[in-house]
Amino acid sequence: GLEEGVWPQGAPVDPFLSRPMRNALGLPPPERRIGQSAQDFVQAACAPNAILVHCERRRGQPAVRSRWLWRLDMLTRGADSDATPVKLATPDHIADWTRALDAPLRDTPAYAKRPAPTPPVARRPRELPVTSVERWVRDPYAIYAQRILGLKKLDRPGEPAEAMKRGTAIHAAIEKATALYPYALPDDFEQQLAIFIQEALRDEGFEDAAMAREVPLSRISAGWLAGFERERRARGIEILVEQSGALTFDGPAGPFKVTAKADRIELDAEGGAIIDFKTGAPSSQTQVLQGFAPQLPLTGAILAAGGFGNPVDPTQLIYVRVIGRGEGGKLSDVSQPSKSNSACAAQISATEFERLQEAVALYDDPSRAYVSWEAPQFMGNYGGNYDHLARVWEWMVVGGAENNDEGE
């Protein structure tokens, strides 16, 4: 980038103050930044080894070498003598690199194949939470990397995590409100819930600048949640919050346990409704029915088998999305009968439990591989943590379908 207009950049044009006006106000001239950049250039060029790069043409037009490069070239020419030869050398291998970038490929690149590891059955997990089962059916390689290799994602320094912290805060506020008022709700429940949300956000580290945005959102969310809570309580329910449950069954390689921690279970005379609170987009009913979102159905299967206490038939599988915009929230009952679905929550849960048993039997076969992105159309937010290890970009996008088939 050692061309005029690039390094150094031209003096900026001030649309508000002319040069005389800047001088009268005691402001530095626009060229001062060029002098500061010159100091940076000198410091960098004084390194023991420095490669100075410039273009002969930029955007199809001839480029003028930077004034600093011209001056350095003239200084080395003037200092050049038989006793102390000094010159700016042009390394040939650097030019070869640039030519190689535009050279046509002679051989087809050997792209990575789709990974398909087959670890010993004894190393394969015999216990999974329902959230990991959801990842398993979409991206088995992620389970291989996390549960078998024991690899964990490290957060990048300074990486924003407001979305996750906001979800944690919303869950904590709803849990606190439910614990304080398990049955009847006070008249000022909406105001109290908004305060609970704001306090939880601050506990998660939200600063004043972020709270300026979150406070109005919390009020909208609290208004919608208050209406949701009053409607649910009118049914005469008993609420279980953050309950842990488990269900163990036999597989070909031994017992397998599936666990769940339900955000909320509402018990009534007919059975139990399973509710999961989310701040992001929930899974669709289609994904649930096709087995790519088994979290709620498997939680229903655990409930039906007595994994949370006494056996209770699941009656509803509900996602509650707390948005904070528009109406403030949205309820999605994925067990609600529709044109494409006539099964009730209990039937959906039983079907999903059968799918899990079949999957466990399938992966108890030593030849069954943990392939990457088994259901790419349903990956959604489940990709990312181990995609670089699986080299997804290389075999799926760059390498094309040929390597994809070979990898399977």
pLDDT in tens, 185-195: 999 999 999 99
pLDDT of 401 over the 70 cut = no
- How far is the C-alpha of 283 from the C-alpha of 379, rounded, in Å? 11
pLDDT in tens, 50-82: 888 888 888 888 888 888 888 888 887 777 666
- How far is the C-alpha of 335 from the C-alpha of 344, rounded, in Å? 6
pLDDT of 404 over the 50 cut = no
Specify the pLDDT at position 92.
74
Find how far residue 216's CA is from the centre of its chain.
Answer: 25
Cβ neighbours around 17 below 10 Å, total = 13
* Closest by CA position to 7, among listed 42, 31, 41: 41
* Closest by CA position to 197, among listed 161, 221, 213: 221
pLDDT in tens, 221-241: 999 999 999 999 888 889 999
Least confident of 29-38, 89-98, 136-145: 89-98
162 pLDDT tier (thresholds 50, 70, 90):
confident
- Six-digit token string for 145: 């990397």
Kindly give, in sequence order, each residue whose CB lies less than 8 Å from that of residue 225, ignoring residues fewer than 6 positions away: 174, 193, 322, 328, 329
| Helices 295-304/130-138 angle, 10° precision | 140
Q: What is the mean pLDDT of residues 116-126?
A: 96
SS3 state at 176: helix
Query: What are the E-state strand segments in 203-282?
Result: 238-251, 254-267, 272-278
Question: What proportion of the chain, given as a percentage, has pLDDT over 90?
Answer: 49
Tell which wins on pLDDT, 44 or 320.
320
Specify the pLDDT at position 379.
63
pLDDT of 400 over the 70 cut = no
The domains of the chain are located at 19-102, 121-153+370-407, 162-233, 238-363
- The one-letter amino acid code at 187 reads D
Average pLDDT, the chain: 87
- Domain 238-363 architecture: Alpha-Beta Complex (3.90)
pLDDT of 395 over the 80 cut = yes
pLDDT of 22 over the 50 cut = yes
307 pLDDT tier (thresholds 50, 70, 90):
very high
Cβ neighbours around 28 below 10 Å, total = 11
- How far is the C-alpha of 42 from the C-alpha of 31, rounded, in Å? 17
pLDDT of 322 over the 70 cut = yes
- Six-digit token string for 340: 């494409």
- How far is the C-alpha of 384 from the C-alpha of 280, rounded, in Å? 17
Find how far residue 194's CA is from the centre of its chain.
Answer: 27
Least confident of 95-99, 175-179, 305-309: 95-99
- Six-digit token string for 250: 């036999």
pLDDT of 350 over the 80 cut = yes
Classify the C-alpha dihedral 184-321-173-202 as positive or negative.
negative
